[in-house]
């Protein structure tokens, strides 16, 4: 009780003091108080000019009429799961771990697919691809394909099979990749010669078998040791045809590069050991290559200087030393770069590559490697924004032993390989190469290439079956998430064939003539409709113009053909 009285007393004294102070602050100091009278307390007069009117600036006015509707927005019922757990806060900051993102399209991004289709010309298509997926440190897969067709001419048939297994393993310091597979291609010498086709002829079958394997070791990028890079690769194949021709090859190659401030020191080295066996001969074709270089590189430029040492060992051994230099300069960074260079090299000629270009080869093909004595090129490349990329290049080449296909004199349906020597009078090829890629929208992509070449030969009259103009274009359109369209256009310019009248029995020197092979256009189109995320139907139409053009003399191609079927993703 005493405590409460004391508190009330002190509170009264403090309040009275504050009131006295406030009152003292309102004393008119302009008047002198009378000593005989009590000090007067007056309040200054305040003159009000106008009433206070709150005015908002234009910037804060709301220029919308209020909505008078009495519609209540939906208010979801929220449930909270509060963890009744004591949180342990460590004293230090721990290392943040990378969180794996969930795939945005798990229903479409699949690793495996199977395809089955049929079409005219007795076409049967089967294909399967299996992959382990997007694992962090390893990947493995298997693929197999079969395509068979049969045309209207006797022996006009094609059969192709591919099968392979591949894998990749990412280690801490390097990555290992490997592949082993088998390719088979079968056809027949169905060459159509109008002057003699009345005779009953059963074309012989031709089959190419190609068993191959490859492996590669590649150094991974290391921020602590990014100034050294290297790789090592090995390739081998066993190739054969239906007439006892065999080609065995083993090649090993690698490179080493060391970065020292603004320039790189490095070298490429390779050895290709090949043996060719035919009915009438056996030949070694070995090529060893060493290419040391020094490269100066900055933010907007790159200059490489070096040499290319190539040693050949076959019927006759020869050694070549070529200069090697190229540059690249950003004229407008990220939009335009100019490039150019000069180099020389030896290109291996093999039964394998010849058969891929022309499967109607004769027996006992002679093998000579092609030599680029001088190869000069210059051009520009870049992009105009994110939707248009381009590249244009001019080139000039001086060549020795350029391989050419010609019809055999005894059997025009088979092709021999001859070589334009280009020693006394240099064989040269000059031309232009261009490439563009346009993304019209998020769903439309268009690409195109053009090759223009001019040939000047030393021993042959024409560059047999080699066109001066080649133009190709492709497009892909995603109409929706279920419908996809593709298209391809290929133009091959006029070519020349070394012609010999098959009805004349020539004696002594054979008087060859030139037969012009017309230019042709090949147009292909395809469509796919995805029924579900796993199942879809497709159709592929080839040679829409139904032009049985001839890429090689006496060998017309299939006309309009279409393949349709089902595909399954899993």
pLDDT tens digits, 101-124: 443 344 455 789 999 999 999 999
159-179: average pLDDT: 95
Predicted pLDDT of residue 200: 59
| pLDDT value at 431 more than 90 | yes
Work out the burial of residue 548: count CB atoms within 10 Å of its CB; fewer than 13 is exposed, 13-18 middle, 19 or more buried: middle
Answer with the residue of higher pLDDT: 71 or 119.
Answer: 119
Predicted pLDDT of residue 98: 46
How many percent of the chain have pLDDT more than 70?
79
473-495: average pLDDT: 95
Predicted pLDDT of residue 45: 53
Band of pLDDT at residue 32, cut at 50, 70 and 90: very low
Predicted pLDDT of residue 319: 95
| pLDDT value at 84 more than 70 | no
Band of pLDDT at residue 493, cut at 50, 70 and 90: very high
467-493: average pLDDT: 95
Spell out a b/e string for 425-453, using b for 16 or more CB atoms within 10 Å of the CB, else e: ebbbbebebbbbbeeeeeeebebbbbbbb
| pLDDT value at 95 more than 80 | no
Work out the burial of residue 459: count CB atoms within 10 Å of its CB; fewer than 13 is exposed, 13-18 middle, 19 or more buried: middle
456 sits in which H/E element: strand 444-456
Could you report the per-residue pLDDT of 339-390, keeping only the tens digit for each? Answer: 999 999 999 999 999 999 999 999 999 999 999 999 999 999 999 887 899 9
Residue 415 · residue 361 · CB < 8 Å: yes
Specify the range with the lowest mean pLDDT, choosing from 94-103, 190-199, 220-229. Answer: 94-103
Query: pTM higher than 0.85, yes or no?
Result: no
Specify the range with the lowest mean pLDDT, choosing from 74-88, 286-300, 317-331. Answer: 74-88
| pLDDT value at 157 more than 50 | yes
Question: Nearest-CA neighbor of 320 among 356, 253, 372, 270?
Answer: 372
Predicted pLDDT of residue 426: 79
Answer with the residue of higher pLDDT: 90 or 406.
Answer: 406
Q: Which residues contact 224 (CB under 8 A, 6 or more apart)?
A: none
Could you report the per-residue pLDDT of 465-474, keeping only the tens digit for each? Answer: 999 999 999 9
Residue 209 · residue 239 · CB < 8 Å: yes
Read off φ and ψ for residue 33, nearest 5 degrees. Answer: -75, 150
Specify the range with the lowest mean pLDDT, choosing from 306-320, 400-414, 440-454, 492-506. Answer: 492-506
Predicted pLDDT of residue 96: 44
Q: From CA 201, how far away is CA 408, in angstroms rounded? A: 17
451-468: average pLDDT: 96
Question: Nearest-CA neighbor of 326 among 304, 348, 301, 310?
Answer: 304
128-140: average pLDDT: 87
Band of pLDDT at residue 194, cut at 50, 70 and 90: confident
Band of pLDDT at residue 25, cut at 50, 70 and 90: very low
Band of pLDDT at residue 207, cut at 50, 70 and 90: very high
Q: From CA 408, how far away is CA 388, in angstroms rounded? A: 47
* Overall fold of domain 113-569: Maltoporin; Chain A (2.40.170)
What average pLDDT is seen over the chain? 84
Question: Nearest-CA neighbor of 260 among 307, 228, 303, 300?
Answer: 228
Predicted pLDDT of residue 502: 77
Residue 312 · residue 319 · CB < 8 Å: yes
Predicted pLDDT of residue 199: 60
| pLDDT value at 16 more than 50 | no
Band of pLDDT at residue 508, cut at 50, 70 and 90: low
How many percent of the chain have pLDDT more than 90?
66
Band of pLDDT at residue 197, cut at 50, 70 and 90: low
SS3 355: helix
Read off φ and ψ for residue 63, nearest 5 degrees. Answer: -100, 35
Predicted pLDDT of residue 396: 98
Predicted pLDDT of residue 90: 41
């Amino acid at each position: 009780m005493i405590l409460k009285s004391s508190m009330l007393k002190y509170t009264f004294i403090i309040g009275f003091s504050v009131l006295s102070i406030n009152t003292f602050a309102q004393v008119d100091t302009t008047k002198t108080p009378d000593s005989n009278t009590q000090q007067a307390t007056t309040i200054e007069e305040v003159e009000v000019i106008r009433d206070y009117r709150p005015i908002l600036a234009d910037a804060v006015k709301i220029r919308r009429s209020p909505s008078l509707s009495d519609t209540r927005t939906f208010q979801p019922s929220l449930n909270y799961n509060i963890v009744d757990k004591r949180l342990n806060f460590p004293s230090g900051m721990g290392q943040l771990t990378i969180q794996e993102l969930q795939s945005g399209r798990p229903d479409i991004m699949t690793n495996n697919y199977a395809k089955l289709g049929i079409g005219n010309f007795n076409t049967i298509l089967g294909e399967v691809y299996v992959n382990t997926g997007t694992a962090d440190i390893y990947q493995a897969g298997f693929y197999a394909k079969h395509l068979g067709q049969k045309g209207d001419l006797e022996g006009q048939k094609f059969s192709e099979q591919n099968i392979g297994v591949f894998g990749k393993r990412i280690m801490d310091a390097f990555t290992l990749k490997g592949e082993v597979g088998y390719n088979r291609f079968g056809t027949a010498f169905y060459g159509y010669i109008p002057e003699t086709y009345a005779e009953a002829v059963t074309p012989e079958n031709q089959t190419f078998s190609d068993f191959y394997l490859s492996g590669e070791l590649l150094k991974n990028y290391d921020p602590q040791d990014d100034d050294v890079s290297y790789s090592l690769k090995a390739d081998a194949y066993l190739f054969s045809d239906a007439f006892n021709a065999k080609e065995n090859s083993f090649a090993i190659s690698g490179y080493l590069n060391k970065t020292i401030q603004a320039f790189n020191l490095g070298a490429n080295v390779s050895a290709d050991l090949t043996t060719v066996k035919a009915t009438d001969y056996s030949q070694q074709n070995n090529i060893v290559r060493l290419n040391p270089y020094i490269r100066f590189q900055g933010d907007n430029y790159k200059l490489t200087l070096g040499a290319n040492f190539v040693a050949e060992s076959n019927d006759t051994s020869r050694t070549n030393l070529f200069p090697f230099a190229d540059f690249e300069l950003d004229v407008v960074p990220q939009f335009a770069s100019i490039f150019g260079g000069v180099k020389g090299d030896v290109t291996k000629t093999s039964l394998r590559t010849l058969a891929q270009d022309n499967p109607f080869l004769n027996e006992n093909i002679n093998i000579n490697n092609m030599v680029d004595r001088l190869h000069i090129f210059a051009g520009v490349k870049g992009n105009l924004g994110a939707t248009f990329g381009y590249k244009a290049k001019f080139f000039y080449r001086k060549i020795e032993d350029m391989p050419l296909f010609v019809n055999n004199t005894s059997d025009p349906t088979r092709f021999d390989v001859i070589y334009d020597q280009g020693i006394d009078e240099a064989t040269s090829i000059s031309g232009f190469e261009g490439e563009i890629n346009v993304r019209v929208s998020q769903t439309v992509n268009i690409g195109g290439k053009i090759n223009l070449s001019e040939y000047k030969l030393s021993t042959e009259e024409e560059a047999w079956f080699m066109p001066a103009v080649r133009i190709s274009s492709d497009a892909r359109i995603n109409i929706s998430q279920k419908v996809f369209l593709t298209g391809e256009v290929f133009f091959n310019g006029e070519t020349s064939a070394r012609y010999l009248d098959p009805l004349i029995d020539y004696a002594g020197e054979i008087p060859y003539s030139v037969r012009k092979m017309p230019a042709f256009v090949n147009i292909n189109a395809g469509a796919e409709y995805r029924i579900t995320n796993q199942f879809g139907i497709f159709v592929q139409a080839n040679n829409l113009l139904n032009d049985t053009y001839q890429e090689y003399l006496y060998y017309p191609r299939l006309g309009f053909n279409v393949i349709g079927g089902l595909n399954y993703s899993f």
